[in-house]
Structure formats: C-alpha cells, structure tokens
Structure 1
Amino acid sequence: MKTLAILASITAVLLLSACAPISSIREPVTQQDEMLIVAPEAPIAGTPTLIEQRQTALREQNWATYLDRTETLLFVSEPEQQNQLLLETYAQLQEIPTAFWQQSPVLRHQAWSSIATTHQITPSFQGAWLESTQSLFHDHPPTQQLTQLMLAKIRSPGSQRIAILLPYDNRTQTLSHQIRAGILAAYWQTAQQHQLLFFNLDDFDSPLDAFEATQQAGADWVIGPFDRNTVDALAPVANDRVVFLNAAPSAPASWQLPFGTTDTLDQLIQHIDQHHYCNLAVLYADQPANIEQIAHLSELWLNTLGHRIIPLSFEPNQRNLRDELGRALLSDQSQVRANFLQRTIGNSLTFFPRHRADWHAILLLGEREYLSNIRPQLDFFQVNLPTYATDTLMPSEFRVDHLEPDLKNIHFLSYPGVLSPELITSPLAALGWDSFLITQYHQALTDGLSLNGATGKLRRQNNGLLSRQLILVNFNNRGQLIVDSSQPNSRPFAGFTGEPAPLHPRDRLERQQELLELITQPSF
C-alpha cells in the first residue's frame, strides 16, 4: 500500500506539472541573426535523461515524444535556457510533416502546429498569425512564451542608419527643406531608434562620390535624390535599399516614389463614373497639356454607351471669361429672346438668363490659378452642378483652418496629407514622410501589401515604381477643405506610421530639441 501511495503522489505531481505555467520571460531576444539556436549552452542540472530522450526522439522523428520532452524540459529550465530551447524547437517545427499535425489528437500539438505554420507565411503576415495563435491557445504556456519572443523580434527589427541625400543649391534648396521636414515629421512619430544622416549633394564632386560617402558612413538605407540627372547617375549602383524621389526605369531593384501621379485622370473618372453621369462638360484652358488630357479623357469616358463629352476651351489669360462662359452655357440665347420680347411688347423685362440643361457634371482642367476664377463665374450664372478637378487643385501649402471660398463645392484629388496640416505642411513634405515609411514597411510592400501614406495608398510594382491612389476631397460652402463623403475612412492617418494615431504636435515639440541632438545632419 505504501508503494501505491508513493506512485499516486508521483502521478499527481506529473499531472500538475503538465499544467503549470512557465516562468515569465526576463528579456526578449534582440540578436538579428536567424532564429536558429542549438541546444542550451549549459546543460540543465538533473535532466540528462530528458535531454537524451528528446535528442533520440528528434533523430528517430518521433515527433510526439520530441514535443512532450520539450515541454517537460521547459518546465524545469531556467528562463534563459527556456528562450534558447523554444527558439531551437521553433526551427525544428518546419521539419515535422503535415501528416503528423493532422493525425495527432493532442490539443497541445495543435498549438505547436499553429506556430509551425509561420514558416510558410510571408513576414508581413506572421505578426497577425502569431497574435491569433496566442489568443487561441492562451492556456498553453509554451505557445505564450514562444509567440512573445517572436513578436518581440518582429516589432523591434533593430536600429538602422538612414542617409538622406538631397541637393541644397539655390534652385533646389526650398524643395529639399520641405522633403527633409517631412522625413523628420515621420521620424518623430516612431520610437526614434534609427539614426538619420543628412548629406548635401553639393558637398561632393559627383553623385557617385556622395553615394559612396553614404555607404562609408554605414547607411542601411539611402533616401533621395529627386532631380532627374542625379537619379540617372545613381541608377547603375542603386539596390533595394535606395528610395529615389523620382522614377528610375533603369533601376528596377530600387524604390521609386515620384512626386507626380501618372494616372490622376483615370482615378478621377472612376469617382465620377460611380454617380452614373452621362454628359460631361469639360472646361479647360487652351494649353497643350490640357488638350492631351482631353484626348485621353475621350478614351476613358466614351467607352461607355451613352456617355458624351462637351469640351469647352478658354484662353489662359482669363480675359472675357464671363462672356465666354455665358456663350458656352447658351445664356446669350436667353438674352436674344428677351430682346425680342421687349421689342414686341414695348416694355423692358427683368429676367435671369436660362443656361443649357444637358450638362450632368463639370470637369475642370487647368492650373489652380486659372480654375479659381471659374467657380465665381459658375455662381454668377447659378450653375449648381457637380464639379470635379484633378490634383492641380491640391494646395501647395497645407494650412490649418485655411479657407478657399473661390473653390467651394469642387471635388478634386489630393494627397491625404492635406487633411493633417498640423503634421505635414506641404505636398513635398508628404513625399518625404512616405519615403521614410518605405524604409520601415518595405517588407509589407514587397509582399504585395499596400501602405496608407501621406501621398496616398502606395503599392510597389514589379519595376520598383510605387503606384499611388489619391483621395477625393472638396471645399464645402465655406471653402473649408473636407474629405469627400464617398471616401472610406481616410482620417486620421491610422496607417501612416502603423500606430493608432500620431503624436500630438505639442508633444512632438516638447521632444524636438532632445531628438535633434540625436540626429547627424551637417547642414541642418
């Protein structure tokens, strides 16, 4: 009986041990090498038999015993040894055949199976999968500890040196300052663990010398330049850690983030077409660039049966704009009829000219200065039709509480950054912001995901060029800039930094002085 009592006690201890929690993690793994770690450096005291049994099970591919002995070793090991053991086991999980996972009825084995799946998942999706596994198998201590280790590695990729290579001559200085401001604004939204290195292209004899200087400084990434000649000069040496702020067709491995959006008109037509308009009046300045857009617009709009374009051109000098617009609206015909009636009845008439009624929507093509004069004239003729424009109406400065009454009720495409002027002050600053984001989220873009940036929703193409989807905004009756009601949630910039919300400007300013001391920038 005494022997039976002892055996019963041992059985109870073993059962309790299987459910006991593993000691908490003292310190996440920070090394940047592959997560393949051999057996613990120091043998676990009093457990040579367990280690031998585990190694034997590994050699014989007895996976059930291998996992069971692993969990037993985890329970009796020190925290540092637990981390090593878990990471070693994770590396071995990819060797376990799918048939074992499918046939095993043990729930603990299914937890290991879920973690093993990350070997077949691209890095961008591993974090979400691990979080789901952590939640699903919350009562399995090895799963909790291993997922925490892996998530710590994913979320803390380590410090990087990011070189910013921009020109600062009289022609480009203003542009470079805005780009640099956007890079710094994005940097301040992160944990500031990276080091920024600013290089002035004018300090070097050639662009290649400047690029070589960034490499000698140990730069992991290079952002810039943006001017055409310098980009072409650096294209032969550009790799997948270079972010050009222009197109670089001869450098497909690089990241190319140009300022302009090539398919703006296509995107705008998609928005207009959602409202099922048929007759589209196009008011445009008589200039070559706008005439080319009219030709492209015809290809896009006239593909649908029943669609019609009514092109109306005006002189760029804007003289006699009201008279020309009146003729386009056929308001002069109302005047002719009124004159005839006045002569017929012998009395003067008070009337307002009736304009043509076959327009369903209006599209404006031209520069911002030109288009700002059309809206008041449309108001004069009481034309209350949906009015659209391309990204030429995007402000050159993003200002808080700025009103544009002359552009009221015009819907146009823009960088999303225009909605947060407290963070991003100009389109070029938005370009700088997104160039920094690429260095942080390049893996997601490489895996085919899109990134909600300050210049739009970005997606990498096979040639390295980043396509951009703009958002539709409009000025309301007061001339206040708002996001169009047809748009999904584009504000606040939840996707700009991967964080729920950016820092408040006040908090950023309080930390600015301290942060600037950490940044290496010769010409700041």
Structure 2
Amino acid sequence: MQAASFRLALLFFFAVLLAACGQLPERPSGPGPADPDIARAQQLEASGDHLAAAELYRALASRTPALEQRSIYLLNAAEASKNGGDWDGTRAALAQLAALPLPPTPALQRTLLQAEVLLQENRATEALSVLGDMPDAAQPRELRIRHQSDVAAAYRQLGNLLETANTLQNVDALQTDVDARLQTQTEILRSLALLNEQVLIQLQPSPPGVAGGWMELALLVKRFGSTPEALAPELAKWRERFPQHPALPDLLNNYQQRLQSQLQQVSRIAVLLPQSGPYANVAAAIRDGIVISSFEIDEVRRPQIRFYDATDPAGIWPLYTRAVDEGAELVIGPLQKDAVSQLVRAGELPVPVLALNQVDMSSAPPQNMYFYSLSPEDEARQAAERAWLDGSRRPLVLAPKDAWGDRLAAAFEQRWQSLGGSVAASGRYDPEGHDYTETLTHVLLLDQSETRHNEIQRLLGRRLEFEPRRREDVDAVFLAARPVQAQGMRPQLQFHHAADLPIYTTSHAWAGQLSTSQVEDMKGIFLADIPWMLNDGSNGDESRENVARYLPKSAAGFARLYAMGMDALRLVPHLKRLQSSRYESLDGSTGNLYMDEVNQVHRQLVWLVLDAQPQVLGYTPRLDLQETGTATVPVVAPPTAPSPTT
C-alpha cells in the first residue's frame, strides 16, 4: 500500500489539476428536480463522461434566464470541459462568465479555472498574477488546496523550485488525508532534491524551522542517496533535530525502501574503450576520469574495474560477451557510434550497458541499455529553450558550413519549432574564413536594403545619404561556433547593425575562460557549460584535486572528457532510479543528469554570460517537465545584448 501511494507522487501535479480540481466542493444546487438534464449531467460527470456533461451544462445555461443560476451552469460546463481535456470548451465558458456576477466561492472557482487555462498554455507568470494571494480562510478547504496547488504548478513551470516547495508546504498544511499528504510531501522533497547542494546550503533559512527541515532533508537524500545503509542513521539524527517537523514517517520509510530497490550496487565493471585509432585520446581522458572517480568510493564498496580494448567496432559483441563471461556485472562503453548501434540491435543484454554515445533508434532500446554522452545537439536544444524562456520568438541561426554545424542548427531549429516558434532565417558561414560579411548581409537582409537604396537613387537621378537597415523581425541569434569563430562573429554582428540581438551559443565557443582579446569581442554572449568548468576548486572538490594531482599537464584540454568519465562511474548505481522517472536527477560534474523514456541521459547545463569573470545565471528550467500544451508568447520582452564595447 505504501509503495502504491509513493508511485502516485509522480502524477501529483497532473492529478491535482485534473482529478482533485474537477471536484466542486460546494457546487450550488440547480432549480430543483424539474429539469432532468441537471441530474443527467451530474450522472455523466460521475461516470467520467465529462464532455457530455459539459454539453448538457451549456444547454442548461442557454435556457436559464436567471443570471446567477446561468453562471453556475457555465461554471460547471467549464469544469467539466477541463476535466475532459477540452480546454477550448473551458475558455469558451469562461468567456461567457466574464461579465456575469458571482458570489465569492464561485468567483474563486472561476479564478482557479482562468489560472489553470494559463498554466495549460505555459503562461505561468500571468497565472500567478491571476491567482493572487492565499484565499480567505472562509473559503472551502478544497478550493484553498487547489489554489495553492496551482501556485506551486506555476512556480514549477517557471523553474522556481524553492517557491514550488514552499507553496507545497502550504498545501500539506491544509490537507487532512494521509495519502494525499504523502503525495504532497514526496513532491516537496522531489522539488528540493532537484536543486544542487550548494544552493540548498546557501538558501538554508535561519532559524531553520519547517522549511529549513525540508531543505536539510533534501541535502541528506542527495548526499547519502547512493548508500541507503548510511542514509538510515542520518534520517534518525534529522528527526531528533526536527521532532515537530510535519514530514510523515511513511515518507522517509518509503524513500529508503525505494532507494534499496532501485540502487544498483555492482562489484565488477568492464570498460570498453578504444586504445588506438582516432578516438584513442578521447577514450584515454574518459578512462582517466573513471579512475579518478573510483577514488571517491570507499575502499570496501569500490568496484573492481577492468578495461578492454574496443578499438574495432565490428568486434564489440564478442568483446562484450567476453567481459560478461569474465564476471562483469555492468559494462561502461563502447564509445564509437557503430559499436553502440551493434549492441542496440543485439536485443536484450545479459548485463546492463552504459554506452558512451547516442545513436538514432527506430525502436525502443534494450531495457538495460543506457546512453550517456556530451551531445552537442543537446546543448543546441538547451540554447533554444533558454532563448524561448527569455522571450525570444524569431531567432536567427548561424552555423558553420560543415556536418557539425548542420547537426547543431537542425537540433536548435527542431526544438524551436516544437516549442511553437519559427526561425526567422538560417545562415551558413565558412568555418575556415574570418570575414562573415556575405553571410550576415544575406540573413539580415542588408543586401535587400542596399538594392532598394540603389533603385531609389536611380529613379531620382542623384546620390542619397544612406545607412543600411537590417530586418526587424529578428530578436535573437543562435550561434554554433568554435572559439575563433565566436570571437569573430560578435563584432561583425555589431558592425552589421545587430548589436542589440542577444547571442546564445554552446560550450564549444570557449575553453573555460576568456583571454583579454576574447573578452572584448565575446563579452555578453549567453553560453551554457558543465559545472566542472565553472568550479575553481575552492569548495574542496576531491575529484578536482585528484585531477590536478595526477594529471597536471593535460587537465585543461580534456577537462570535459575527464568530467564525463567521472560521471559515467557515478551514474552506475543510479541508472534504475533515473530510469524510473524523468523527475529523478543526479548532480554531476557534467550537469544535473536525468533520463528520458529511451534511456538517454541528458545534462542540464549551467548558463552564464561571458565576461572576464563570467556571470553565472544558473540552470534553466527543464521544459520537458512542463510541456502540457501549446506554448505562447510571454508578457516579458526578450533580453537585449549588452552595450557593445567595440
């Protein structure tokens, strides 16, 4: 029973908006049993046929002259339409309700419906404005719970996990049903656990109180989640420090049981990496990261790691079989796409595989095969999400004229279109060149401006003062570039009258810091990178100290690959947990790691604004946790680029 209740937590926000929301706590009664459609509509709702019920309520409203009763029928129609997934029906009913008078409780219900429509459209800021403050205590408890649940959903949609958790604490305080409280408390803990440890420490209130108790509990879960046997005594100590905390005993018990069932402890790991050929240097850096990460594990729990030469992709299946025969309980690798594809086609695998690349799949992969890589396409998609959340809607895409540029441009454009936007223009530049004038004048339509100028001069028969004007339907730039290209592109965008456009790029545009000349040319670019590149070691990171100690000469050039190797080993015990839900995550050196429905591990990256000392913006909200409807233009304007310095 506890396990069943715990699993329900994954559906908490959806359930609270669809099931709980649809139950009207104090629905005013109709004019009596005279009209059989009233009872029929209620029966249809009870049986789950919400759309038919909505139709009857609309019919009742259309033939009811009394304004107050008509408004109640319309309110019921809006609720039933929402519960049936007909958001257009909800909007239509709310539009008819807009001018009708309502008593306080139905008026609150109308407000909740209006906010829920906005949430369905991903318009969380507007939803919060509509919802306002906590309803009066005289309002029904169910509506107050629903109000705070909607507020929490809005904060989650905005990526404000702390306020999500704080608002859910209000929900928990209002609830009386133990199972409902367990779901809410699980969501509180889940929201806080998505924050990294440093943020949880910095935001700890003083004195801690209930909110601080939740944050400390989330810290314990993150720190000891890999070792349930160590977590149990820490939870006991936590309870001693917070004896009056509202966290239910079943919450902690369920979490421990779940960790025990999902953590994958292995004693023998095989690593399949090429030791020669074009991928040898990359593989060596990943290997070193794996070894460094193993130093973090207590000696008693440290797995035996054996490395195999996987230079030949064609021989990957015999090599995998050999590793299994020699006792491997889990395999990390292979690295090459061809080798990964062979294992995907092999069907069910006798032991789990964490492949270090991703491949296109026409069908679901084997259940125990996982994929982890430093995917450039993933970074391009995150750039699209960041620009979208910043308010941009008509970006310009600039990418080198090569296969790498095509991949990043396609990933950005596909993600942009899935969000509901359209790309204004896409241009390709010579990756070996330094003058991007031809590309920029074309995509910014400056060549058309020049053509118009020449035509007017010809018609008038005299020279005219002229300053070219770029197209006005562009509000951002996605730039796929290496450092040299990024350094050259921004000044040329400024020269070509696009200095006001914010530029978004991927980690490939810098090496982790800017030289003096790069600062002048690249200042103000928005870029995402892995936490490892932004960690200066001042927080006592053991892995960074080990890299500096054992790999002092080559650490800078292969930093991201070392971090990838470290996270590959850290992922091993958490693969089942991450597979269980997209809400599960793992703080890693390469980002906040989570898994999708085809076992692909994704990296949530840290955003920053480039400068001599980059301004760290933090993680961008994960839109995959929020996409419930068609995205719409927010009320906020997109950011403008910092003032040009050249």
Task: Give the TM-score of the pair, scaled to structure 1.
Answer: 0.53
> What is residue 129 of structure 2 aligned with on the other side?
none
Separation of aligned partners in 1, 2:381 and 2:312 = 42
> What is residue 42 of structure 1 aligned with on the other side?
none
Q: 1:164 aligns with which of 266, 271, 279?
A: 271
Q: Residues 28-51 of structure 1, C-alpha deviation per residue, up to 9 Å, x if partnerless?
A: xxxxxxxxxxxxxxxxxxxxxxxx
Q: 2:296 aligns with which of 189, 200, 210?
A: 189
Cα separation, partners in 2 of 1:206 and 1:358, compared to 1, 3 Å: closer
> What is residue 357 of structure 2 aligned with on the other side?
246
Aligned residue type for 1:359: V
Choose 317-326 or 269-278, whichever is displaced more: 317-326
Contact persistence 1:362–1:385 (CA under 8 A): no
1:410 aligns with 2:519: no
Aligned residue type for 2:357: N
Cα separation, partners in 2 of 1:461 and 1:206, compared to 1, 3 Å: same
> What is residue 472 of structure 1 aligned with on the other side?
607
Cα separation, partners in 2 of 1:123 and 1:385, compared to 1, 3 Å: same
Separation of aligned partners in 1, 2:445 and 2:597 = 50
1:220 aligns with 2:329: yes
Separation of aligned partners in 2, 1:314 and 1:446 = 38
Contact persistence 2:595–2:602 (CA under 8 A): yes
> What is residue 492 of structure 1 aligned with on the other side?
none
Separation of aligned partners in 2, 1:296 and 1:227 = 21
* Structure 1 residues not aligned, in runs of 5+: 1-97, 99-121, 489-524
Local SS of the residue matching 1:309: coil
Tell me by how many angstroms 1:399 deviates.
6.7
Q: Residues 354-382 of structure 1, C-alpha deviation per residue, up to 9 Å, x if partnerless?
A: 65554322222456654442112123346
Contact persistence 2:424–2:473 (CA under 8 A): no
1:437 aligns with 2:437: no
Separation of aligned partners in 1, 2:595 and 2:400 = 34
Cα separation, partners in 2 of 1:330 and 1:446, compared to 1, 3 Å: closer
Contact persistence 2:383–2:506 (CA under 8 A): no
Tell me by how many angstroms 1:174 deviates.
0.7
Tell me by how many angstroms 1:292 deviates.
7.4
Local SS of the residue matching 1:180: helix
Q: Residues 88-125 of structure 1, C-alpha deviation per residue, up to 9 Å, x if partnerless?
A: xxxxxxxxxx9xxxxxxxxxxxxxxxxxxxxxxx9988
Separation of aligned partners in 2, 1:275 and 1:452 = 25
Local SS of the residue matching 1:255: strand
> What is residue 139 of structure 2 aligned with on the other side?
none
Aligned residue type for 1:196: I
* Structure 2 residues not aligned, in runs of 5+: 1-177, 179-224, 244-248, 538-543, 545-554, 622-646
1:391 aligns with 2:506: yes
Q: Which has the higher helix share?
A: 2
Local SS of the residue matching 2:398: strand
Aligned residue type for 1:413: A
Separation of aligned partners in 1, 2:317 and 2:422 = 52
Tell me by how many angstroms 1:287 deviates.
5.5
Contact persistence 1:124–1:444 (CA under 8 A): no
Contact persistence 2:476–2:502 (CA under 8 A): yes
Separation of aligned partners in 1, 2:476 and 2:570 = 37
> What is residue 427 of structure 1 aligned with on the other side?
560
Tell me by how many angstroms 1:411 deviates.
1.4
Separation of aligned partners in 2, 1:363 and 1:157 = 40
Separation of aligned partners in 2, 1:401 and 1:184 = 32
Q: Residues 449-502 of structure 1, C-alpha deviation per residue, up to 9 Å, x if partnerless?
A: 2112233322234443323333323422x3x555336758xxxxxxxxxxxxxx
Q: 2:239 aligns with which of 132, 136, 140?
A: 136
Cα separation, partners in 2 of 1:382 and 1:468, compared to 1, 3 Å: same
Q: Residues 260-310 of structure 1, C-alpha deviation per residue, up to 9 Å, x if partnerless?
A: 2555444322211222234323334455775677677666546788x6632
Cα separation, partners in 2 of 1:327 and 1:337, compared to 1, 3 Å: same
Q: Residues 40-64 of structure 1, C-alpha deviation per residue, up to 9 Å, x if partnerless?
A: xxxxxxxxxxxxxxxxxxxxxxxxx
Local SS of the residue matching 1:484: strand
Tell me by how many angstroms 1:180 deviates.
0.9
> What is residue 36 of structure 1 aligned with on the other side?
none
Cα separation, partners in 2 of 1:210 and 1:413, compared to 1, 3 Å: same
Cα separation, partners in 2 of 1:252 and 1:399, compared to 1, 3 Å: farther
Local SS of the residue matching 2:396: strand
> What is residue 6 of structure 1 aligned with on the other side?
none
* Number of matched pairs: 354
Cα separation, partners in 2 of 1:135 and 1:291, compared to 1, 3 Å: closer
Tell me by how many angstroms 1:223 deviates.
1.4
Local SS of the residue matching 1:170: coil
Aligned residue type for 1:251: P
Q: 2:478 aligns with which of 363, 366, 375?
A: 363
> What is residue 282 of structure 1 aligned with on the other side?
397
> What is residue 99 of structure 2 aligned with on the other side?
none
Cα separation, partners in 2 of 1:196 and 1:331, compared to 1, 3 Å: same
Name the larger-Rg structure.
1
Q: Residues 134-193 of structure 1, C-alpha deviation per residue, up to 9 Å, x if partnerless?
A: 4436899xx9xxx9xx99x97x99882333221111322111111112212322333344
- Aligned 1:256-295 pairs, distance under 5 A: 256-260=371-375, 262-286=377-401
Cα separation, partners in 2 of 1:284 and 1:229, compared to 1, 3 Å: closer
Cα separation, partners in 2 of 1:400 and 1:379, compared to 1, 3 Å: closer
Backbone CA RMSD of aligned residues: 5.1
Task: Give the TM-score of the pair, scaled to structure 2.
Answer: 0.44
Cα separation, partners in 2 of 1:208 and 1:403, compared to 1, 3 Å: farther
Aligned residue type for 1:434: D
Tell me by how many angstroms 1:209 deviates.
4.6
